Structure 1
Amino acid sequence: MSLFRPRPKLSIVVIVYKMPDQAEKTLLSLSPAYQQGVREKDYEVIVVENHSDRLLGAARACQHASNVRYYHRQESQRSPVNAINFGAAQARGRYVAIMIDGARMLTPGVVRLTLCAFQADPQAAVSAPGYHIGHKLQQVAVNEGYNEQAEAELLKSIAWPQDGYSLFDIAVLSGSCQGGFFQSNYESNFIAMPTKKWKALGGVDTRYNDFGGGNANLDLYKRLLESPGTAFYMLFGEGSFHQFHGGVTTGTRKAERDVIYKQLDDQDRALRGDDRAPPNVRPILFGTPHPSVYRFIRHSLDKVQPQ
Structure 2
Amino acid sequence: MTPHPAKPRLSVVVVGFDMARELPRTVLSLLPPYQRGVTPDEVEIIVADSGSHEPVRRDWFPAEADVTVLRVESGGVSPCRAVNLAAAQARGDLIAVVIDGARMASPGLLRAAMDASRIHPDAFIATLGFHLGPKVQQVSVTEGYDRNVEDGLLNAIGWPDDGYRLFEICALGESYREGAFAAPPETTFFVTSRARFEALGGFDEGFQTSGGGYANYDLFDRATAEHAPPLIMLVGEGTFHQLHYGATTQAGGIQRRVKPEASLADLYAEEYERLRGRPWVRRHPKQHLFGSITHPAVRGLFFPAAAS
1:113-167 Cα deviation digits (max 9, x unpaired)? 1111112221211011100111111111122222111111111111111110111
Secondary structure of the residue aligned to 2:179 is: coil
Secondary structure of the residue aligned to 2:205 is: coil
- Per the alignment, residue 265 of structure 1 pairs with 269
How far residue 110 of structure 1 moved from its aligned partner, in angstroms, is 0.7
Query: Structure 1 length normalisation: TM-score?
Result: 0.92
* Alignment length (residue pairs): 301
2:244 and 2:269 mapped to 1: Cα distance? 22
Amino acid corresponding to residue 70 of structure 1 in structure 2: V
- Structure 1 unaligned residues grouped into runs of 5+: none
User: CA RMSD of the aligned region, Å?
Assistant: 2.1
| Gap change, CA 1:251 and 1:231, over 3 Å in 2 | same
Secondary structure of the residue aligned to 2:235 is: coil
1:195-221 Cα deviation digits (max 9, x unpaired)? 111111111011101101111111111
- Per the alignment, residue 26 of structure 2 pairs with 26
1:37-61 Cα deviation digits (max 9, x unpaired)? 010111211111022223331211x
Bigger helix share: 1
Aligned pairs (5 A) from 1:25-44: 25-44=25-44
**Pick aligned residue for 1:282 from 281, 286, 292:** 286
1:251 and 1:128 mapped to 2: Cα distance? 23
Amino acid corresponding to residue 23 of structure 1 in structure 2: L
Secondary structure of the residue aligned to 2:41 is: helix
Secondary structure of the residue aligned to 2:236 is: coil
8 A contact 2:120–2:229 mirrored in 1? no
- Per the alignment, residue 190 of structure 1 pairs with 189
Secondary structure of the residue aligned to 1:6 is: coil
| Gap change, CA 1:266 and 1:4, over 3 Å in 2 | closer
Secondary structure of the residue aligned to 1:207 is: coil
8 A contact 1:167–1:241 mirrored in 2? yes
2:75 and 2:223 mapped to 1: Cα distance? 28
1:22-48 Cα deviation digits (max 9, x unpaired)? 111100101112000010111211111
Identical residues among aligned pairs (%) = 35
8 A contact 1:176–1:186 mirrored in 2? yes
Pairing 1:156–2:161 present: no
Pairing 1:207–2:206 present: yes
Pairing 1:299–2:304 present: yes
| Gap change, CA 1:132 and 1:277, over 3 Å in 2 | same
How far residue 3 of structure 1 moved from its aligned partner, in angstroms, is 9.4
Aligned pairs (5 A) from 1:100-111: 100-111=99-110
1:116 and 1:300 mapped to 2: Cα distance? 28
- Per the alignment, residue 114 of structure 2 pairs with 115
Query: Structure 2 length normalisation: TM-score?
Result: 0.91
- Per the alignment, residue 216 of structure 2 pairs with 217
Amino acid corresponding to residue 251 of structure 1 in structure 2: Q
8 A contact 1:182–1:283 mirrored in 2? no
Aligned pairs (5 A) from 1:20-169: 20-60=20-60, 62-63=61-62, 65-75=64-74, 77-169=76-168
Amino acid corresponding to residue 276 of structure 1 in structure 2: V
1:85-129 Cα deviation digits (max 9, x unpaired)? 101101111111111100000000011111111122212110111
1:245-278 Cα deviation digits (max 9, x unpaired)? 0101102446446722221222123223224204
1:41 and 1:252 mapped to 2: Cα distance? 41
8 A contact 2:293–2:299 mirrored in 1? yes
How far residue 64 of structure 1 moved from its aligned partner, in angstroms, is 6.0
Bigger strand share: 2
8 A contact 1:127–1:192 mirrored in 2? yes
| Gap change, CA 1:64 and 1:119, over 3 Å in 2 | farther
| Gap change, CA 1:300 and 1:43, over 3 Å in 2 | farther
